[in-house]
Amino acid sequence: MVRKMKYIRFNQQMRWFGPLDPVSLSDIAQAGCHGAVTALHELPIGAVWSREAIQERKSLIHTFGLKWTVVESLPVHEDIKMRCGEFQQYIANYLESLRNLANSGIEVVTYNFMPVFDWVRTDIAYLLPNQSEALLYDQEKYELADLFLLERPGARAEKEKVQLERLQEQFDLIPEEEKQALFSCVFQALPGSSTALRKDQVLAAIAQYEHIDAEGLRDNLVAFLEAIVPVAEEMGIQLAIHPDDPPFPVFGLPRIMSTEADVRQIMSRVPSPVNGLCFCTGSFGAHPQNDLVKMLRKWGSRIHFFHLRNTKRDGPNRFWEASLLEGDVDMYKIVKGAIELMHQEQRSIPMRPDHGHKMLDDLGKDVYPGYGAIGRLKSLAELRGLEFAISRTR
């Protein structure tokens, strides 16, 4: 008698922004998730995460029958990215936080190395034909914000005279309230916050990177990893870097995690297995050069966390968050490749649906852009169905 192989499935997660998140732990538990992906969002960037604070948050999550094994994110202080100021102290703090997280049962720590901005969008309520709302990045709208709202030094020099004149004419036609809305959208603060940064704050933060190019930022990332990887190895923590979002330069700032070539450099320069990826199909998928199926096959052993979302490109550096099964990313091949990877390596990889549409009852609620309950629940249901169907054909 032939025994059927036991299927290894995704470790299904949902992101939660803490006690003030309008999407509750009860909502996440009712969605059937195994755990909540979260962070101590209330702490300032660079502060030590104490074991007491971690355990308190973990106990709250456990109250709802959920686990907390994935942190997103343990943010990296700008001093570390620039390797200046108090970067050594902030690295020491990061190491202490890693130890405290490991001792509390955390297995994966997600982070990014994007200067100043965690992500940039030009519309957080892009109206789709079915009247649901999606996140949108439009290069032309970004340029209007950069040139005429932020008035970044050097931005005009990057454009031809004809381009500047055309953009100026377009900007002059925009009503004042729309200009203000564009600024608030583009210069939104960290995930979990609805507060827009001030113009002077943004300009000051960008100015600090004036003498740091992509090579310099990459060297700083490697130096950071060389400092923390030995502790991650010792404590059994997997490090998962999130790709750039969007995967191309903004505001004159360098980008170093946008393409497969970027991944290859970081993975080869710090070859430890704990130095891995948060494989975000939306961020990588928004760059036309990336073949996500090939990337999954090549770097599968270094993937510690999946963000599964889809994007649709309809112009140079313009994309919106598409329905999970309808964008440019072949989600069937991605999920199939992930299932094959998990069986080959005999491990369940954490996964969460990302950037759902704002739809149905969520349209009248104040939720963080991309993180309403219903849109993500729709994506989770589609992923479960896809995973189940693929598993049955193995």
Under the banding of pLDDT at 50, 70 and 90, the label for residue 2 is: very low
Query: pLDDT tens for residues 212-232?
Result: 999 999 999 999 999 999 999
Residue keyed to tokens 């112009």: 315
What pLDDT shows up at residue 210? 94
The two three-digit tokens of residue 157, written as one number: 């020099």
Under the banding of pLDDT at 50, 70 and 90, the label for residue 1 is: very low
What pLDDT shows up at residue 76? 97
What pLDDT shows up at residue 393? 84
Is residue 59 helix, strand or coil? Answer: helix
What pLDDT shows up at residue 98? 98
pLDDT for 196 beyond 80: no
H or E stretch covering 95: helix 87-103
Query: pLDDT tens for residues 116-128?
Result: 998 999 999 999 9
What pLDDT shows up at residue 24? 97
What pLDDT shows up at residue 209? 97
Report the percent of the chain where pLDDT is more than 90.
92
Q: How much is the average pLDDT of 104-120? A: 96
Report the percent of the chain where pLDDT is more than 70.
96
Q: How much is the average pLDDT of 306-335? A: 96
The pLDDT mean for the chain works out to 95
What pLDDT shows up at residue 364? 87
Tell me the HSE value of 219 on the side-chain side, using a 13 A CA sphere.
7
Structural domains for the chain: 11-121+214-392 (3.20.20.150), 123-203 (no CATH)
Under the banding of pLDDT at 50, 70 and 90, the label for residue 52 is: very high
Residues taking part in catalysis: 242, 280, 307, 354-355, 371
Whole-angstrom distance, CA of residue 201 vs CA of residue 212: 19
What pLDDT shows up at residue 143? 97
CB neighbours of residue 326 within 10 Å: 10
Looking only at Cα atoms, what is the longest distance across the chain? Answer: 76
CA 37 to chain centroid, in Å, comes to 12
What pLDDT shows up at residue 208? 96
Residues 6 or more apart in contact with residue 117 via CB below 8 angstroms? 250, 251, 253
pTM beyond 0.75: the answer is: yes
Q: How much is the average pLDDT of 261-271? A: 98
Q: How much is the average pLDDT of 96-124? A: 96
Q: In what order do the strands lie in the sheet with 11-15?
A: 35-37, 11-15, 350-353, 303-308, 275-280, 238-241, 108-111, 70-72
With vertex at residue 300, the alpha carbon angle to CA 344 and CA 235, rounded to the nearest 5 degrees, is 90
pLDDT for 90 beyond 60: yes
Under the banding of pLDDT at 50, 70 and 90, the label for residue 3 is: very low
Q: Are 232 and 99 in contact (CB under 8 A)?
A: no
Under the banding of pLDDT at 50, 70 and 90, the label for residue 5 is: low
Residues 6 or more apart in contact with residue 272 via CB below 8 angstroms? 229, 232, 233
Under the banding of pLDDT at 50, 70 and 90, the label for residue 150 is: very high
Query: pLDDT tens for residues 247-261?
Result: 999 999 999 999 999
pLDDT for 55 beyond 80: yes
Of residues 106 and 367, the one with the higher pLDDT is 106
